[in-house]
Chains A and B, each alone.
Chain A
Amino acid sequence: LAKTTQPISMDSYEGQEVNITCSHNNIATNDYITWYQQFPSQGPRFIIQGYKTKVTNEVASLFIPADRKSSTLSLPRVSLSDTAVYYCLVGGLSGGYNKLIFGAGTRLAVHP
């Protein structure tokens, strides 16, 4: 299973763009990259998922370089409610089995 490395914490201010980069040097060919957001005492919430290049949805963008050894979650114009822990995970359907192993995540604090 591919291991991921993220910054432990980040600080930002309301209205700024936040980019969180995740390293996954041993990502496998059939692995997807998925980002989750977690608030205290809640289950992780799916943010975005991608395989290569760029993916954008209504809340975030995900940039994946050609070698796929890293990915960057971009949150445009953050607000106080974006203060949470963000997890980057990689996993695929190897053998029909998709097990996600959580790393420490990135604790984002958005300040007024």
Chain B
Amino acid sequence: GAVVSQHPSRVICKSGTSVKIECRSLDFQATTMFWYRQFPKQSLMLMATSNEGSKATYEQGVEKDKFLINHASLTLSTLTVTSAHPEDSSFYICSARGAEKTQETQYFGPGTRLLVL
């Protein structure tokens, strides 16, 4: 149980285009989802927190207009990197926290590798 998926697993795009990454909780309802970014040899950096049906809360230094987050249902959150640039190339990871038994634990997706050319 407590499986989180991400799609796509990797994506290559041209500079200036937008990329959407999906995060799904497959066997539980995720009241809260988190988005992280990880550069090579570094730790995960929290970008934003989203609660179903409300606006995301962004961490300091993360541009909300560049990284659009939508948590439209209890099983799906999306991260859209708008007007992507090479410096946005990174490993993006989502996590989800559910209710009841999974409330205290975050479960992570497998990550999405983004390469902006």
Interface residues of A (CB under 8 A from B): 32, 34, 36, 41-46, 49, 87, 92-93, 97-105
Contact = CB atoms under 8 A, between A and B. Distances in A.
Interface of B: 2, 4, 6, 32, 34, 36, 43-46, 49, 91, 93, 95, 97, 103-111, 113
B110 A102 contact: no
B108 A36 contact: yes
A42 B109 CA distance: 8
Contacts of B4: 43
Given A98-B97, A99-B46, A100-B46, A43 B110 contact: yes
B43 A49 contact: no
Interface class of chain B by DSSP: strand
Contacts, number: 57
A41 B113 contact: yes
Interface class of chain A by DSSP: loop
24 contacts: A34-B105, A36-B108, A41-B111, A41-B113, A43-B4, A43-B6, A43-B109, A43-B111, A44-B93, A44-B95, A44-B108, A46-B105, A46-B108, A49-B104, A92-B104, A98-B103, A98-B106, A99-B46, A99-B49, A100-B46, A102-B36, A102-B44, A102-B45, A104-B43
B108 A102 contact: no
Contacts of B104: 32, 49, 92-93, 98
A55 to B, nearest CB: 12
A46 B91 CA distance: 19
A66 to B, nearest CB: 20
B42 to A, nearest CB: 8
A105 to B, nearest CB: 6
Nearest to A36: B108
A41 B113 CA distance: 8
Contacts of B45: 102
A49 B105 contact: yes
Nearest to A51: B104
A102 B105 contact: no
